[in-house]
Amino acid sequence: MKAFLVRSAFLCAMAFSCVGAWAQGAVAATIEFSSGDDIVVIRSGKRLPFKDSIGLELLQGDQVQTGKGVFVEIRLGTGSTILKLAENTTFLLERLESGQTSLQLVYGRMRAKVEKLAGTDSFSVRSPQAVAGVRGTDFGLDVIASRSVVAAATMTRAYCFEGSVEIVVYVRSTAQAAESLEAIPRSYIIGAGEMVKIEGDPGKSDAVKQPLEESIRSFWKANDYKSEEDEALPDAAASTSGAAVDSGKAALDAGASFEQGFARGYDAARLEFGRDPGIAQDGFLSRSEADAIRAAARLQAGGIVAGSLISTIAAGSAVYGFFLLDAGDTDGGVLALRASAIMSATAIPFLVMSLFAKP
């Protein structure tokens, strides 16, 4: 019987160690392709050292920055959702757990092929001016320097190649800015061949829904996925509305605009990570609020994992106790049942913590 109690204590210790290992962070994504070596990964405020970026495992909270001429493909978890980051892009894996995926594009261009979500799962990408939410689609998001004469002006473009995307835009008119009114969320649903363009400075911005610019399609067709070459970006559908665009000239214009904005836009994006964490963009959570939500989510998940493991061990101990009673070992059976009751009681605080943990 002493050996049984030792085994039970060992299993409990294993349960706690599993929870501790989980708390250190599970793999959230993996880099599957990179066209160059100029990649920076920031983890917990420090640059992550690595020799080869291909196969590099990323954790929740990691910041990924691509240099000039470098395109990167990132697969989320073990599913089929894959992201493509263009050159000169700053990107953040905000939250990837419990079916909830939240990403942030600080500056640059990205494309995402999102697997069909189930139940209450969610997938969203946010920028300083908009949030894109999807349930299974092929879409992209750009945050680049605007051609406006205003130095701080940026342009966000959300567009869809397949499926549909809900875009929530935070717009503020000149009149609202003059009266210091909050930005108003405006929702758009875009389908294949459509886009929403948001342009403005931190004081005011506006959005318009329009047909997908051919320059965007040309850009991603020229820089399509390498790890999924059998699924090339389709040509523009004949049903797409809007006047035809000279794709060659438009692509050159877009490239020139992106290149011109690199010096101030990309550098500003890098500095974004050093700003006061208590200051948030209108309509968004501050960094401290986001950290509090992540901490609460970790407590909830940790409580569920710990409580479930201990409850499973308790159930095994109870089964073993009844087996001993049936075999005529009354003392051993009673001890096993007592151990089961103690472990069951130990699991209760963890389960309660998972219910009441709040940011």
> Rg of the chain's alpha carbons, rounded to an integer?
26
Query: Are 232 and 267 found together in one domain?
Result: yes
> Residues 104-132: pLDDT tens digits?
999 999 999 998 888 788 899 999 889 99
What's the number of domains the chain is made of?
2
| Residue 226's pLDDT band (cuts 50, 70, 90) | confident
Query: Are 173 and 82 found together in one domain?
Result: yes
| Residue 158's pLDDT band (cuts 50, 70, 90) | very high
3-state SS string over 3-71? HHHHHHHHHHHHHHHHHHHHHCCCEEEEEEEECCCCEEEEECCEECCCCCCCCCEEECCCEEEECCCCC
Give the whole-number percent of the chain exceeding pLDDT 70: 67
Residue 5 has pLDDT above 80, yes or no: no
Query: Are 169 and 318 found together in one domain?
Result: no
Query: Are 5 and 123 found together in one domain?
Result: no
Query: Are 132 and 60 found together in one domain?
Result: yes
Domain end point (choices 261, 284, 307): 284
What pLDDT is attached to residue 270? 55
Domain end point (choices 251, 284, 317): 284
What pLDDT is attached to residue 294? 66
| Residue 353's pLDDT band (cuts 50, 70, 90) | confident
Domain end point (choices 284, 311, 338): 284
- For tokens 């000169």, the residue is 88
What pLDDT is attached to residue 92? 95
Domain of residue 115, residue span = 35-284
Query: Are 91 and 148 found together in one domain?
Result: yes
Query: Are 141 and 44 found together in one domain?
Result: yes
The pair of structure tokens assigned to 309 is 């493991």
Residue 34 has pLDDT above 70, yes or no: yes
Main-chain phi, psi angles of 30, to 5 degrees: -135, 135
> Residues 287-325: pLDDT tens digits?
555 566 667 777 777 778 888 889 899 899 899 989 889
pTM: 0.60
**Residue 48 is part of a domain; what is its CATH number?**
2.60.120.1440
